[in-house]
Structure 1
Amino acid sequence: MTTSVIGYPRIGKLRELKFTIEAYFKGEKTATELLQLAKTLRATHWQQQVDNKITYISSNDFSFYDAVLDTAALLNMIPKRYQQLSLPELDQYFAMARGYQGEKGDVHALAMKKWFNTNYHYLVPEIEETTNIKLTGTKPFDEYLEAKQLGIETKPVIVGPLTFLKLAKLPAGKTYQQYQSAIITAYQEIIAKFAQLGTQWLQIDEPILVTDLSKQDIQSFEQIYQALLPTKGKLNILLQTYFGDIRDCYPNVTALPFDGIGIDFVEGKESLKLLQQHGFPADKILFAGVINGKNIWRNNYAKTLAVLDTIKTKASKIVINTSCSLLHVPYTLQNETKLTIAQKAYFTFAQEKLQELTELGQLVDNSQRTDHAAYKTNQTLFTREREGTNNTIRQKVAALTKQDFVRLPEFNQRETIQKQALNLPLLPTTTIGSFPQTSDVRLNRSKFKKGEINLAQYTEFNKQKIAECIKLQEQIGLDVLVHGEFERNDMVEYFGESLNGFVFTEKAWVQSYGTRCVKPPIVWGDISRSKPITVEYSQYAQSVTDKPVKGMLTGPVTILNWSFPREDISNKDSVFQIGLAIADEVLDLEAAGINIIQIDEAALKEKLPLRKADWHSEYLDWAIPAFRLVHSKVKAETQIHTHMCYSEFTDIIKEIDQMDADVISFEASRSNLEIIDVLKANNFKTKVGPGVYDIHSPRVPSIDEIRKTIEKLLTKIDQKKLWINPDCGLKTRGEKEVVASLINLVKATQEVRSEL
């Protein structure tokens, strides 16, 4: 049986793309060098798939930053502020992604949001009143021909028109349907161009189809493809969906003259049922997504083959496919030297998933499959007893009662008590937590890991950096300080390394956005804490200043969501295990004299089901209590903060209020402070710190710019409830821009404060 890959990681085996792009930003690499590196990576990725006998290999899944941004550039959707910079094409592209501040001008970046239910971020395309949607770029065609010259026939991948329009930011008062005609014309040109090139298959990604759709959405979908498909000629069109099932429009999709339809049988919990109820057209190929593109556990061949056997009763033409792009998993296990052989046996990263596709292709029609060596080897993993069981922690979770999730006294009483205890000024200023991880910080960590320095030397260096960071914040004039997190490699990995039940990789990096990559821990067994994690550094930071210093923790939901979870343990049980561990850390910080503790839940929205009907039963009913579990035992005087970033929280704002934190900081700058209207409309009780400037851009906001933002916030938020802060941690930024930005933040706040 033939096989297919929806998309492949583009960062390179050792993050070559990240380092080369960052060198380009610094002027250390030329555009020519960057383009050549990209070409080399693409050739390597295609050849790996050829070597694994993948039938349908994708092209145009490569990007310097983001595929949605690539589509905007392809279709001439470049807002005027970027055009007016008169930058070279590549630099204009990066200006849209990161913002620009230089001799050509000063512009903000496009908004950035989470890509459906993943930790990947996309750039939100903007359609302006004067935007002329039309095909102007050549990237998909160039990369298809690039592969063709290597003797590799690929199926080019493009973001689908409905998904693109639904994700775009539109002019006030406009609906996406008003742009349907223009985008149809542009996609007709794309299809015609590929047909002219002799392309065999074109993959059009429409993940929006797995979300809740209105009748109007379904009508638009039909109108778009009724206009596009008759123009395809000999070109085969694959409609690809992922991250769920297409229950709202399954009959509509299968009735249209697509040549192939990609359906997710991993996250699509209704996919098999839909297939059995409605059947599948005999004239179409079903691209069956049965290899998990979002997790790293080895596929259970017995279960997957049972699914494929059922699919075969309803579909006569099948291709074995990944459930989504492999962008969301690490590149290869080949880089891992510290995982045990037993551990490695359970994992497959992107490159190894190619082998799984091939083996399933060999097994699915094999009547003697159970005698096949690949099948036997696979099944030994799923019959042996797993390591890592901790019955004590399982019993603690089972014994939790309602009272364990309730903090007393209630919010209003705590608010009064904390005001007196902390004595903070109006509009208190702070940062989200991390400060720049400079080369000396990274070198210190590297030396310690390699055994070149001992623990005492490592700790002394970090304390010196903390003292410098505290002094800097005092000089800047911030009201609530942080210790800078110089000991932390990553906000999740750091905690995972300090908890029992996780295993860690060396180079299993996954792209989060642009050049930002993360290395998620792996939940290997039951999770517990054996000793304090953050107390020493937090206590030291507080000892060198009279101002309050926040203790900085990562919340249980974010730790789980930014890890690769076990597939045989419920997420609810895992998150409560983590919650109990972090709750112990909170109480230890409090006992050490830390009166403000921030428990970040940056990834709260990430695993929210894409369909509203599933929000509470499948997620919120345990995710929100998990946060309350962490802080339910602290004193009234202790102020609990949390932070959330780069997601759309407006739909769950009431649930966020039920987390019962004392202060919540949100990303808000790239979304134009849209969240403040929702906070006001819902009578949000919690004190809030909407980010007043974008830290994912290198530009430095002016005093006047921040002042205007604060004044805008004060029109919707009670001045007694407003905190002033950047919109995320400062780890990835440079020192000079951070200091300049924070000085302006404090000065702007002081100006506004003096007038209140």
Structure 2
Amino acid sequence: MTTSIIGYPRIGGERELKFWTEAYFKNKISQEELLKNVATLRLKNWKKEQSSGLDFIPSNDFSFYDTVLDTAVLLNVIPKRFRDLELDALDTYFALAKGYQGEAGDVKALPMKKWFNTNYHYLVPEIEDNTTFALKGSKIIDEFLEAKEAGISTKPVLVGPFTFLKLASYETKEAKDFANDIANVYVKILQTLEKNKVAWIELDEPALVKDLTEEDITLFKKIYSVILSNKGSLKVLLQTYFGDVRDIYQELIALDFDGLGLDFIEGKQSFDLVKKFGFPEDKVLFAGLVNGKNIWKNDYEKTLSKVAELEQSVSKIVLSSSCSLLHVPVSLEKEDKLTDDIKENFAFAKEKLQELQDLDELITLQNPADSSVLKDNQKIHQNLKRSVDEKVKTRINALTKEDTIRQPARAERFKIQQDYLKLPILPTTTIGSFPQTAEVRQNRKKYRTGEISKEDYGAHLKEDFQEVIRLQENLGFDVLVHGEFERNDMVEYFGENLKGYVFTRFAWVQSYGTRCVKPPIIFADVSRERPITVETSAYARSLTEKPMKAMLTGPITILNWSFPREDIDLQTQSTQIALAIRDEVLDLEAAGLPIIQIDEAALREKLPLRKTDWYSEYLEWAIPTFRLSHSAVKATTQIHTHMCYSEFEDIIRAIDDLDADVISFEASRSSLEILDSLQAEHFETAVGPGVYDIHSPRVPSVEEIENVIHRILKKIPLEKVWINPDCGLKTRRNEETVASLKNLIEATTNVRKKLEK
């Protein structure tokens, strides 16, 4: 049996890619130096994979920013506004990702959305009516040859044409209008690879695990009938992940693919499909049996049993990761702060390579039960015993439906809060965080390493809070925030203050572009032992006469942006977290905070990819879990929430059911598309659609923001509209932030004056 992975983390064990790329953005290193650095990183990864004994080593899984964006550039899907900038290839690429503001022009970046059910974000390709698909650039072949020169044979990986078309946005045409064009370009790619002696290409088609219509299946078959009839001697692996392919499995095994990759971790019906319909002898099954999304060590005994079961129906099997290892940290090697009894339960990307090698060797043994490798693995799983927190268990058992219902009803609360808060029309606020400068980060680092005392650290923080509150007052904001300078990450910060979590030092995972997060790990029952944000929020409130908004991360997002346990269900884990947040909410209210924002940026992240499972497997417990966190507050306390970079249009009713008083959405990159859905569904919650994109360094003009506000008011009643950026400002620089916020306030003031006439 042989082994394969779908992709490997490209950020580097110490986030080298992030720092090199950001240095290039700041003109601190040249393009030549950047390219040289990343070539070194790619080679390091390939050698690591080769030394692990991996048989199918991926290439073209590296990206400066996003692999979907890479594919768009490869296929010449570059909107005219970017072509008109006449920048070189790499700077055009970064303009697509980040937007551009300079001598060549002023353009917005491509929209950004969540990658299926993960916390990774992809750039949405924009296909204009006159887009001409063509093979541009040579990244896919260059990286294959780069590895080959180092003596490493690789399997190039590319986003498949069907998934690319399904993820793209369109001007007036549809995906089917570009089927022939994209198929012909993929044929050229395959022919180029074949000429360069490539043995296998992997085409990733995760869109196949979603609900497929007959039109979808027709589109897929139309595209691949062209590709497969022109593949020559090149072997094509059709790779899927994040679910099963129940809607199209029979068609897939009938087509002329040489290999088919199936996810046996998240694919609920993958085993049944193989057993029921069989698997062709002339094809290779790439069996995703090592979890590419979670960090718990593989249970070898269970995996070997699954392999044995598959071997009854399949003659050629390759052991594989269930998805790209992009979604887990790079390595456990430097995690010296984790005790051995905790650390031994985890496997990050590098350790998963070892797991594949171990499983491969165990399968070849006549008596694997005698192997010390298997015995050691069994011992780890047998020794993982978590104590039950009886207090948490008692609280959960005592919950009733009434604990998730807030009184009075939202319409009545709306009037009460208007009288209580006395805010103007189009109230202005921010999402919560302000730029974390080098000084802020250095201050936090010195405290963590013991260079300064807790008192000194607190004094620095108070200065930061005072400064940001003065800034907001001077700019003219109506509802202020304290800036969140004490927080490293919106989930990690809360995890560090909740019982039941364990933490890493270097377990970074790419979220988008140069943005990396370090998800905490849920190891035991979760509870709050002491207040987390109350002291800082109360202090900030004391500094101003204006309403102060306290900031919390919601239970669903804390769960979805953590590595969860696998021994209890997600609902139980989220309820435990919700009770902890509920305690924090009530303490904030008692401390005099009139507005409390409970962010649920990741609400959609664990939404099942098939609509038929949305409520039964997720929303029927996720919605009450959020309501549990805030339902006990007074009518005068205004509850906000925030969501970003996902497609929310089809779950608008569910979002309204969260029963928040105000919700802010990311909307700027998606051109306010969500407004039509809010209007059509008669959305009751007050809304703050983001009026500018904070993930781009460009500063929006006053006129631009005014136009956005007027567009919002055409769809949403005036009394229900808030004005805010589309996300937190943590990752931005002070100069661009202040300039953008100044323009936001001026634009809002101008619109108010026009409305008063």
TM-score range, shorter chain: over 0.9
**Aligned Cα root-mean-square deviation (Å):** 0.7
Distance 1:394 1:305 in 2: 35
Deviation at residue 364 of structure 1 after TM alignment: 2.2
- Which residue of 2 is the match for residue 257 of structure 1? 256
1:615 aligns with 2:614: yes
Distance 2:662 2:346 in 1: 39
1:16 aligns with 2:11: no
Give the secondary structure class of the aligned counterpart of 2:127: coil
Q: Which shows bigger deviation, 125-134 or 434-443?
A: 125-134
- The 5 Å alignment of 1:725-744 reads 725-744=724-743
Give the secondary structure class of the aligned counterpart of 1:334: coil
Distance 1:601 1:707 in 2: 27
8 Å contact kept, 1:565–1:571: yes
Deviation at residue 371 of structure 1 after TM alignment: 1.1
* Equivalent residue letter for 1:464: E
In the TM superposition, what whole-angstrom CA distance separates every residue of 1:201-232 from its partner, at most 9, and x where no partner exists? 00000000000000111111111111111211
* Equivalent residue letter for 2:507: A
- Which residue of 2 is the match for residue 80 of structure 1? 80
* Equivalent residue letter for 1:697: S
Give the secondary structure class of the aligned counterpart of 1:113: strand
- Which residue of 1 is the match for residue 45 of structure 2? 45
- Which residue of 2 is the match for residue 213 of structure 1? 212
* Equivalent residue letter for 2:9: P
Distance 2:302 2:584 in 1: 40
Deviation at residue 384 of structure 1 after TM alignment: 2.0
Distance 1:86 1:276 in 2: 54
Deviation at residue 365 of structure 1 after TM alignment: 3.8
1:707 aligns with 2:699: no
8 Å contact kept, 1:147–1:153: yes
* Equivalent residue letter for 2:669: R
Distance 2:158 2:40 in 1: 21
In the TM superposition, what whole-angstrom CA distance separates every residue of 1:331-356 from its partner, at most 9, and x where no partner exists? 00012110000111000000000000
8 Å contact kept, 1:72–1:125: yes
* Equivalent residue letter for 1:722: V
- Which residue of 2 is the match for residue 120 of structure 1? 120
- Which residue of 1 is the match for residue 402 of structure 2? 403
* Equivalent residue letter for 2:26: K
In the TM superposition, what whole-angstrom CA distance separates every residue of 1:547-571 from its partner, at most 9, and x where no partner exists? 0110000000000000000011110
8 Å contact kept, 1:680–1:716: yes
- Which residue of 2 is the match for residue 240 of structure 1? 239
Distance 1:633 1:503 in 2: 29
Gaps of 5+ in 2: none
- The 5 Å alignment of 1:653-664 reads 653-664=652-663
Distance 2:352 2:394 in 1: 36
Distance 1:195 1:152 in 2: 17
- The 5 Å alignment of 1:507-518 reads 507-518=506-517
Give the secondary structure class of the aligned counterpart of 2:229: helix
Give the secondary structure class of the aligned counterpart of 1:19: helix
- The 5 Å alignment of 1:370-449 reads 370-449=369-448
* Equivalent residue letter for 1:94: F
* Equivalent residue letter for 2:178: Y
Deviation at residue 198 of structure 1 after TM alignment: 0.7
- Which residue of 1 is the match for residue 532 of structure 2? 533
- Which residue of 1 is the match for residue 478 of structure 2? 479
- Which residue of 1 is the match for residue 592 of structure 2? 593
Distance 2:730 2:155 in 1: 38
- Which residue of 1 is the match for residue 2 of structure 2? 2
- Which residue of 2 is the match for residue 145 of structure 1? 145
Distance 1:267 1:344 in 2: 24
8 Å contact kept, 1:201–1:238: yes
- Which residue of 1 is the match for residue 230 of structure 2? 231
In the TM superposition, what whole-angstrom CA distance separates every residue of 1:143-171 from its partner, at most 9, and x where no partner exists? 00000101111000010000000111111
- The 5 Å alignment of 1:167-566 reads 167-172=167-172, 174-566=173-565
Q: Which shows bigger deviation, 90-99 or 229-238?
A: 229-238
- The 5 Å alignment of 1:25-44 reads 25-44=25-44
8 Å contact kept, 1:493–1:520: yes
Distance 2:273 2:659 in 1: 40
Distance 2:616 2:747 in 1: 44
- Which residue of 2 is the match for residue 162 of structure 1? 162
- Which residue of 2 is the match for residue 103 of structure 1? 103
Gaps of 5+ in 1: none
- Which residue of 1 is the match for residue 694 of structure 2? 695
- Which residue of 2 is the match for residue 56 of structure 1? 56
* Equivalent residue letter for 1:489: N
- Which residue of 1 is the match for residue 574 of structure 2? 575
8 Å contact kept, 1:140–1:156: yes
Distance 1:365 1:280 in 2: 22
1:70 aligns with 2:65: no
Q: Percent identity?
A: 60
Distance 1:689 1:512 in 2: 24
8 Å contact kept, 1:388–1:501: no
In the TM superposition, what whole-angstrom CA distance separates every residue of 1:432-476 from its partner, at most 9, and x where no partner exists? 000000011001100000011111111111011001000000000
**TM-score scaled by structure 1?**
0.99
Q: Which shows bigger deviation, 163-172 or 718-727?
A: 163-172
Deviation at residue 104 of structure 1 after TM alignment: 1.0
Distance 1:325 1:600 in 2: 28
Distance 1:384 1:326 in 2: 26
Distance 2:491 2:485 in 1: 14
Deviation at residue 395 of structure 1 after TM alignment: 2.1
Deviation at residue 385 of structure 1 after TM alignment: 4.6
**Runs of at least 4 residues off by over 2 Å:** 364-367
Distance 2:591 2:187 in 1: 65
8 Å contact kept, 1:60–1:156: yes
* Equivalent residue letter for 2:353: L
Give the secondary structure class of the aligned counterpart of 2:261: strand
Deviation at residue 304 of structure 1 after TM alignment: 1.1
8 Å contact kept, 1:388–1:524: no
* Equivalent residue letter for 2:153: E
Give the secondary structure class of the aligned counterpart of 2:225: helix
- Which residue of 2 is the match for residue 89 of structure 1? 89
Deviation at residue 388 of structure 1 after TM alignment: 4.3
Q: How many residues align?
A: 755
Give the secondary structure class of the aligned counterpart of 1:3: strand
Q: Which shows bigger deviation, 72-81 or 224-233?
A: 224-233
Distance 2:534 2:77 in 1: 49
Give the secondary structure class of the aligned counterpart of 1:416: helix
